[in-house]
Amino acid sequence: MRVTQAVGRFGEDVAAAHLTSAGWQVLDRNWRCATGELDLVALDGDELVAVEVKTRRSATYGSPAEAVTRTKLVRLRRLAAAWLAAHELRPAAVRVDVIAITVPRSGGPSIEHLVGVVG
């Protein structure tokens, strides 16, 4: 596994733990279909949340959240609809969140959770 893949996997683990500790139910990790992948799919109460996780080792090239473009958000909404079509779940609402994680050389990761991100 390459370093960037390992950092990404670590970030997804941190994000899933963050959501679980907040009382969310993680339904899926790395769900794939023909049009793409959702990092995490979770329930926040009765809302379905498609979660994009971005992990970086520094802010040299900007914050991890800045890597989530308008085009990416449109794709995430389509993927959330595809996930719902493939599962027997009817949530009250659907939204897209971004969890941006920075992993410094020393100390623990910092987590920024952006709720209901719109383009």
Domains defined along the chain, listed by start:
3-114 (3.40.1350.10)
**What is the structure's pLDDT at 82?**
98
Structure tokens at 26: 């993680």
Model confidence pTM above 0.75:
yes
**What is the structure's pLDDT at 3?**
80
**What is the structure's pLDDT at 21?**
97
Percent of the chain with pLDDT over 90: 82
At 88, the amino acid letter reads E
**What is the structure's pLDDT at 88?**
93
pLDDT digits (tens, 9 = 90+) for 32-60: 999 999 999 999 999 999 999 999 988 88
How many whole angstroms separate alpha carbon 19 and alpha carbon 55?
Answer: 16
Q: What is the mean pLDDT of each run of 10 residues along the chain (119 residues)?
A: 85 97 98 97 98 92 92 97 96 98 91 93
How many whole angstroms separate alpha carbon 35 and alpha carbon 60?
Answer: 30
For every residue of the chain, DSSP letters joined together read: --HHHHHHHHHHHHHHHHHHHTT-EEEEEEEEETTEEEEEEEEETTEEEEEEEEEES-STT--GGGG--HHHHHHHHHHHHHHHHHSS---SEEEEEEEEEE--SSSPPEEEEE-S---
With tokens 């969890």, the residue in question is 99
**What is the structure's pLDDT at 52?**
98
